[in-house]
Amino acid sequence: MKKQLFIVCGLAINEDKILLLQRDDEKNDIHLKWELPGGKVEFGEKPDIAIKREFLEETGLKINTIDLVPIAQSYVWG
């Protein structure tokens, strides 16, 4: 059975600076790559709650959401 994951990511801007995270996972090809904070939306979780949780888990920062930009993309593998 195929699953579809819902992912959120956030753009944090403070004084014209953007927050990026550098991944530290030597076992993965994402090691030392830069990305925005974010992750999976849990079943039944609202996207704005998910991004707040992910920010807190990944950065220790408590954030407020201003705007949510819904983007949905799906790929079908045969």
> How far is it, in rounded angstroms, from Cα 51 to Cα 24?
20
Is 47 in a helix, a strand, or coil? helix
Percent of the chain at pLDDT > 90 equals: 56
Confidence of residue 76 (pLDDT cuts 50, 70, 90): low
For residue 71 the two structure tokens come to 């983007």
Q: What is the mean pLDDT of residues 17-38?
A: 89
Residue ranges of E strands in 1-78: 7-9, 13-14, 17-18, 21-22, 34-35, 38-40
Q: Which comes out higher in pLDDT, residue 1 or 37?
A: 37
Is 75 in a helix, a strand, or coil? coil
Confidence of residue 5 (pLDDT cuts 50, 70, 90): confident
Q: Is the pLDDT of residue 39 over 90?
A: yes
